[in-house]
Structure 1
């Protein structure tokens, strides 16, 4: 119960990773503020995890709407004065060619994946500073930040920008004792927001060196560690928890092939 006296804000809390992260912190005793654009899904998370409905804050947040972000920040300020931990988990993965995508689609990807974490990190950090909280902020990124993907360039660039922004915040917030780190979770199919075809899921699983998709404890364990006292001297770090997927190209079945016959990619 290492987070029994901590308050935690999680965006995208009704998604695959959001539910896993919420479950981890709840099991460690934290009080949660769950944010997502789907109110019914938030209520489902509260029920599924057996959370105390009276003590669990919920906010239906539209991350592309600045006023909605400010509402979430004000809710946290009114109820807690400041959070101890912020996890900017929400994100969208899109498949658009740069020559075909609309400007509106470009803006939406960057508003959700980059601008919203900027606003929430900055404003929640201000609350932490006002209350003298030595808080922890985690931004959820992806191996796509370092490896371009055809058809998903907007996603890749938004995550690259998020990682650089995180290091900038880590630098400027260090004098206040606030740590900012990044976790790159592994591939986990099942999102109802960014749906993936069966063929795409199968192709992705073949590329993961450790041979499986991300499970419910993988990324949350890393996030919990970075938010704990055990990581009190870690800030500005990027931790990949992806089974080796971001190391480089890997195709299952290629190992042990006849010399000289392996496909070059």
Structure 2
């Protein structure tokens, strides 16, 4: 994370990250910690969350932890109250948490549907609403980032609920951007690329290679890719950007792509 430099503007900034124990959440936390930010790390996985305190890249950071069940409105309210008590308000909110379990719509239960939309859409709505009110009360020109996905633009069987949620999150991003603009609170989204470690289940080498073959720039997402975009959008350099979604996916959502196969030592 040392390659990212923002002239000290994040030193002491208070950053809330949901889904912090996942691979993207960890990378985002490491990036902000390297810039001197204070972090509130939120996740439903209590044990994994606490292990983050032992991460060498986070040990010098000032950390708060909150075990949050984003399917429960009361738990989200508890997180907001925890922030109010500890900090009064945050400077930056990263709505990173998301769930994706493969379900065909014809076989999906109402509970499964509600859980998916609850974490992927309703939780960012509620947390943004609560933390933005705190920012407004304290007169902070905050920044809110929603973590989107290429699934907002394309669909596949078994992922309709997830794509629906991410598409809704894109509109929620723009809607909050409009309503919070008078308070100089900016709301944007980042759509990260494929990172094998972001999957709950282990992926085969063949599956990973097949995914890489669909990415024009020819590699998976790394520890600095999405965090660099997030830091930029939260920085003064992006002070005139709100309501936007930045794809950091190696060109995968630019269009259909299949890597040419070499023939006789040449790529055709």
Please, what TM-score do these two structures have when normalized by structure 1?
A: 0.92
- Structure 2 SS opposite 1:69: helix
Q: Determine the C-alpha separation between the residues in 2 that align with 1:140 and 1:78.
A: 26
Superposed CA RMSD: 1.8
Q: Secondary structure at the match of 2:216?
A: coil
* Equivalent of residue 19 in structure 1, options 18, 26, 49: 26
Counterpart of 2:66 in structure 1 is 59
Say if 2:233 is the partner of 1:226: yes
Larger mean CA deviation between 204-213 and 68-77 belongs to 204-213
243, 254, 257: which one aligns with 1:236 = 243
Contact 2:195 2:220 in 1 (8 A): yes
Aligned residue in 1 for 2:151: 144
Q: Deviations over 1:143-172 (max 9, x none)?
A: 110111222111111000000001000000
- Give the conservation status (yes or no) of the 8 Å contact 1:46–1:52: no
**1:36·1:42 contact (CA, 8 Å) conserved in 2?**
yes
Equivalent position to 1:252, from 259, 262, 265: 259
User: Does the residue aligned with 1:246 lie in a helix, a strand or coil?
Assistant: helix
Q: CA deviation at 1:249?
A: 1.6
Q: Which runs of 5+ in 1 are unaligned?
A: 257-261
Moved more, 153-162 or 94-103: 94-103
**Aligned 1:87-126 pairs, distance under 5 A:** 87-126=94-133
Work out the CA distance in 2 between the residues paired with 1:226 and 1:165: 17
In the alignment, what sits opposite 1:130?
137
2:197 is aligned with 1:190: yes
Deviation sequence 1:43-76 (CA, Å, 0-9, x none): 11121134358x4110001110111101100000
Query: What is the CA-CA distance between 1:139 and the residue it aligns to?
Result: 0.2
Which residue of 174, 177, 181 corresponds with 2:181? 174
Taking the aligned partners of 1:183 and 1:131, their CA distance within structure 2 comes to: 26
Structure 2 portions without partners, runs of 5+ = 1-7
Shift of 1:101: 1.7
Residue matched to 2:37: 30
Match of 2:3 in 1: none
- How many pairs are equivalent? 256
Contact 1:183/1:238, CA 8 A, preserved across alignment: yes
Q: TM-score, with normalisation over the residues of structure 2?
A: 0.91
Moved more, 22-31 or 145-154: 145-154
What secondary structure sits across from 1:77 in the alignment? helix
One of 42, 52, 77 as aligned partner of 2:49? 42
Q: Residues 92 and 234 of structure 2 are in contact (CA less than 8 Å); yes or no, is this contact kept in structure 1? A: yes
1:106-158: CA deviation from partner (whole Å, max 9, x where unpaired): 11110110000000011100000000000000000011101112221111110
Equivalent residue for 1:210, pick from 204, 208, 217: 217
Over 3 Å counting, the alpha-carbon distance change for 1:253 and 1:115 in structure 2 is: same
